[in-house]
Structure 1
């Protein structure tokens, strides 16, 4: 028994490291996107990110699963998910123009609470009072950050919250995908569908890319793809209850990048609100895992 237990830390450690690195990469992705919003439309940033990332995403899927990863049984479901992905990313990138990176990142972490609401109200899932309490506390954290009615309130602060709602729909829409399709298939098709959907609109906002910005667009594709790949692998290496809470390390990275690049310093209420959202989110994750174990 002791020898079997001694093997557990290895896989779990790899999962934890992969999750932390993946979140760091996605935070770097967001920081680069915020930098690019100074000269380009969020839609153009998203389009080029997906176009550049698509070949690498296909290569990773082929390596991990072979040609079967490129086969979809419900392509229309992926197209709809691509549209949701474009809408969420556009709103999130737009919020970078007006909000600090830490503030926008903290607000988008209310997505799990929207998933709970939608699941209970529209999908008929049973939600206990503890999860409802976590939802309420999470939204109190949002109110602390955006401070509606206060002198510092900005209507644009609701944009990351709207992003979280659309992102929740994106996560729940994975149920529409055929169960025979793997996470690598989902990764390939959401990248391809995102490029396709944004391609219809990007000509209206296109600005010629300056040569000095090519490396930034390459960076956002590299960090975004690497982050999603490592996070996917993290959930395969360790239980969700172990790695999912580490997603909140993104708040630390967002604060660090915001200070290093733009000298942004979140105020006390933003820090308190972010802590409340993170705490209630982690409670939801642990509660969900416990409920799944009991089932």
Structure 2
């Protein structure tokens, strides 16, 4: 490994840890606000505030010229994937315990491995395939297909939303690695926030008066489609904090994957799992059920195994390359 790569690895790990902490705090704030505001209002406010912070980073990283791109369609597709991933996850978060939603979302690394076969043409060995299978088994256990729907905390469709969110996130990360080679982290974050703003304004134009939520008592539907209201003074601070945290998290995650290979930094994303359990216990007195603990163990264990195998494989390839050179 080159000296530059050795220096980038600690920086990438630091960025990923700060980013994961930011995402975890973001989830807490979203859940706290989900009972009184529509999702598109929260997202719009968050993105507008976050954009101010990110534009400041743009100035530091090179000025407005770094926002120019020759791949606008790919950036738009990446932004839409992030929006879809966030929306589906947050709708579920309004109903599910924080630890449950977070654990289900953490199948994203397994999706990345599975998708690398058809999209990137990578070869995945039997051990990694077995690990991916074990991780998805954890998802099934958390879904409790044997249980009566009346005993579940939420509708089964809502429980699948974090998994759908993880799938979109996995597609986005595959695109990030390609775009990050020629785009600054702050520019990547700006494009995403602009997409969030445009989509939120679209929701406001179509459903901002709350007519589509009338007659529904489902918390997820209410969170997605209720009418806009002027925030309470106390909630304005939550929204301001949400915007700042989003800006920092988005920048740090993009920077982590730009500076360091995914196999090195991605395992550190699992810090988000114990954080979600901690926040759920502190704010809502929630602790995971036995099925959720089993699911967390399977998803986390299989994800870490996949990353370690990918790192081992990269080292073997590097050593083989050195032998061929000499």
Give the counterpart of 1:45 among 42, 45, 49.
42
* Counterpart check, 1:191 vs 2:193: yes
Contact 1:53 1:221 in 2 (8 A): yes
Distance 1:15 1:168 in 2: 19
Distance 1:190 1:13 in 2: 26
Give the counterpart of 1:88 among 66, 85, 92.
85
C-alpha distance 159-289 of structure 1, shift in aligned 2 (>3 A): same
TM-superposed CA distance for 1:80, in Å, is: 2.2
* Counterpart check, 1:218 vs 2:240: yes
Distance 1:176 1:240 in 2: 12
Question: Structure 1-normalised TM-score?
Answer: 0.87
Aligned residues: 289
Give the counterpart of 1:73 among 70, 73, 78.
70
C-alpha distance 291-24 of structure 1, shift in aligned 2 (>3 A): same
Question: 1:254 maps to what in 2?
Answer: 276
* Counterpart check, 1:267 vs 2:289: yes
* Counterpart check, 1:207 vs 2:228: yes
Distance 1:236 1:181 in 2: 9
Moved more, 250-259 or 168-177: 168-177
* Counterpart check, 1:244 vs 2:266: yes
C-alpha distance 253-149 of structure 1, shift in aligned 2 (>3 A): same
Question: 1:283 maps to what in 2?
Answer: 305
C-alpha distance 103-20 of structure 1, shift in aligned 2 (>3 A): same
Question: Structure 2-normalised TM-score?
Answer: 0.80
Deviation per residue, 1:15-60 (Å, 9 max, x gap): 5444333311210001000111111222222222112111211211
Question: 2:102 maps to what in 1?
Answer: 105
TM-superposed CA distance for 1:123, in Å, is: 4.4
C-alpha distance 33-12 of structure 1, shift in aligned 2 (>3 A): same
Question: 1:170 maps to what in 2?
Answer: 172
Q: Which runs of 5+ in 1 are unaligned?
A: none
C-alpha distance 255-73 of structure 1, shift in aligned 2 (>3 A): same
Question: 2:221 maps to what in 1?
Answer: none
Distance 2:314 2:196 in 1: 32
Report the structure number with the largest CA radius of gyration.
2
C-alpha distance 233-131 of structure 1, shift in aligned 2 (>3 A): same
Distance 1:168 1:14 in 2: 23
* Counterpart check, 1:138 vs 2:138: no
